[in-house]
Each structure stands twice: as C-alpha cells, then as structure tokens.
Amino acid sequence: MRLAVCVSVPVLLISASAQAQAPRTLQFQPFGFDAFPDIEVLPVDPVEQLPLRLVLPDYVAPPPLIDVPAPRLPDNVKSMIEAAVRTKDSAVVSAVVKAAVSTQPDDKEEIRAMHQAFLDANAREIAEKANAERERIRRAALLELWTGKVELGAFRATGNTSNFGYTGAVKLDRKGLNWQHTVQLNADYQKDRGNVSREQYGASYQPRFTLNDGLFIYGRVQYEKDRIQGYLDRYSLSGGLGYRILKRDNVSLSMEVGPALRRTRYVEVPEETTWSGLTSVDFDWQILPTMKLTQDASSYIETGNSTFTSATGFEIGMGRGLKTRLSYSIEHETSPPDGSLKTDTISRFSLVYGF
C-alpha cells in the first residue's frame, strides 16, 4: 500500500510506504530529501490547470399552479358548534366558539363565520317575535291582555275569645304599547266579641301613558272607607308625572309626583274638600324565580290632615300560579277625627293566585 502526499512543488508526487515503522526524528532541509532514504521521488508530468466548469441542467419553467381546497374544519368540532347553536343560548354558543378557536386556530375564520350566522339568525328571530307581539297587542280588544292576581286570607277563633276576620284583594293589569291600566280592590274586616273592630274597603283605577323609556304621565281615581279611622268615604283624584328609576329583569322602581284633590266625608264632622300633593313609590324585587319582595308607599300632604301609607309584602311561589304572601301595612293620619288613633297597622298572611 502506498500513501501519496502533495507538496507545494507542482511537478513532484511524493509517495511513501504505509507500513508501520518506529517513530523517528526527522530534520528537513530546504528542498532536500536526503534525510529520507525510504522516500522515492518520482518525476511527474506537469498538469495543465483547467478553469472551473459548472454543469447545470437545462432551464425548466415553473410548474403550473394547482387549486387545492382550503383547510377544512374537523367534523367533530363542527358538530360540537352545531349542537351549541341548536340550544339557542348565546352564552353557550360563545363559550363553545371560544374553545374551538383556541384548539383550531387555522380554522378560526370558518368558526367565526358559523358564530356570526348564529348571531344574525338569533337577531332576526328576536325581531320577528317582537314585531309579532306588538302587532298582537295593537290588535287586542279592550277586554283582552288583562292579567291579575287574587289574594284571600281569613281567621277564626273561639273559646275565651270569639274573633272572625277576613282580608282580600284583587289587582288587574293591562299593558299595551304605550298605555297601562291598573285596577285594585281591597277589603279588611274583623269582628271581636260581636263588635266590628276593623272595617276597611278601598278601590282605585290608574292609567299610565309612556312618553319614553323612563318617563310617563299618570292619572288616579281612588275610593276609601274606614269607619274605625273616622271617615265614611274618601274620594281622591290626582294626576302627574312618573319616572321609572330602575327597570331590570328582576328589579323595578318607579316614582310618581303630582297634585291631588280629596273629598272626605267623616263619621261625626262635616265633609271637606282639600288639595294635597301626592307622592308614591313602587318597588318590586324578584329575588328568586319563586321569591319576590314588594314595597308600595304613598303620601298625601296637605295643610290639614296628611296621609302616609306603606305596604311591604313577601311572596313565595308554590306552583301552578299559587303563592303565599306575608305582608305588613301601615297607615298614618296626621290629624284624624277625635277618638281615632293616628296610626293603624295590619299584618296579613294570605294565599295569592295569579292569572
């Protein structure tokens, strides 16, 4: 075996035996090879140095473009989104779309297109239902669209005491596009040992006309009778402005202010007609689907006898439109007839049926 070594002299080719030999120390002389008795120097013909030549293939035109379909949303992800859309719950659809975009970012455009199609269809459906409801209300007859509730309660005691009493109330509501009509009737009667200890009756009618989303005008006609409180009949006529302070899904608060004309026929003193200022507040809070808190308050303020009323109620649903109601009412007269107390209170426990 021979080993070829190239050196800087272009006309020489140096070869040496590849046999293993003991290492030795060699000293080179410039261009002298006498120190290497085992090296054979052979003459080599000069090699003509040719220029570098690069061989390339012939020019090839670019390949033609091929149409390929866009990336396709996986079937399982698409089915998941379609199942969420069928629920028609915007919150559920938004949550599923968010998860799908995070796991399939390359298909986000298709996912968002499906979400937008759901939002558009949902908006159209809501608009169609609203238009149909407005048309139904507009075409309704006078005796249609009424809703209401009936409240009844009674007690009876015998033995050392002999008591009998009942309480009842009816409330009717009709809501149109701009008009709302409310009719209320109430009665409280109690007899103790053969003597009437409470006899109170009332009736009212109130129309409202909505001016805008929060502002409305109202009128009110009211009748009251309470012999124990000192008057046989009291008629009130009022009207003014009202404002819906809160109007949410579960909470509503409105306030009314206006002048009032009251005519009172007392038990023992002559009747009188007075002007007063009316203020009323109506608060409803649907705490839970089956639990509701109500608060109604009003005041007739005048130079003679002013009247303040408050009624707090707590309702618990029992199913099929039936509820139990616990209420507490206060009525205060600043200057009642002689022999009558200024403040009258009553607690009620009754059943309420809504229709």
- CATH of residue 209's domain is 2.40.160.40
Do residues 116 and 172 share a domain? no
Do residues 234 and 156 share a domain? yes
Predicted confidence band of residue 58 (pLDDT cuts 50, 70, 90) = low
Q: Is the pLDDT of residue 52 over 80?
A: no
Do residues 116 and 157 share a domain? no
User: Is residue 297 situated within a structural domain?
Assistant: yes
pTM of the entire structure? 0.67
**How far is the CA of 10 from the CAs of 15, 17, 41, 55, in angstroms?**
14, 21, 13, 27
- Number of domains composing the chain: 3
User: Is residue 204 situated within a structural domain?
Assistant: yes
Taking the C-alpha atoms of residue 203 and residue 222, their distance in angstroms, rounded to an integer, is 6
According to DSSP, the β-strands at 12-17 and 2-5 are: antiparallel
Least confident residue range of 40-49, 207-216, 232-241, 286-295: 40-49
Do residues 126 and 18 share a domain? no
The one-letter code for the residue type at 64 is P
Q: Which is more confidently placed, 307 or 348?
A: 307
Q: Write down the pLDDT at residue 48.
A: 62
Backbone angles phi, psi at 220, to 5 degrees: -150, 130
- What is the average pLDDT score of the chain? 83
Q: Write down the pLDDT at residue 229.
A: 82
Predicted confidence band of residue 198 (pLDDT cuts 50, 70, 90) = confident
Do residues 35 and 80 share a domain? no
Q: Write down the pLDDT at residue 9.
A: 41
Do residues 115 and 227 share a domain? no
Predicted confidence band of residue 7 (pLDDT cuts 50, 70, 90) = very low
Coil/strand/helix, residue 66 = coil
Q: Is the pLDDT of residue 116 over 90?
A: yes
The arithmetic mean of pLDDT across residues 67-96, rounded, is 87
Coil/strand/helix, residue 19 = coil
Q: Write down the pLDDT at residue 230.
A: 83
The arithmetic mean of pLDDT across residues 22-36, rounded, is 52
Q: Which domain range does residue 18 map to?
A: 1-46
Predicted confidence band of residue 220 (pLDDT cuts 50, 70, 90) = very high
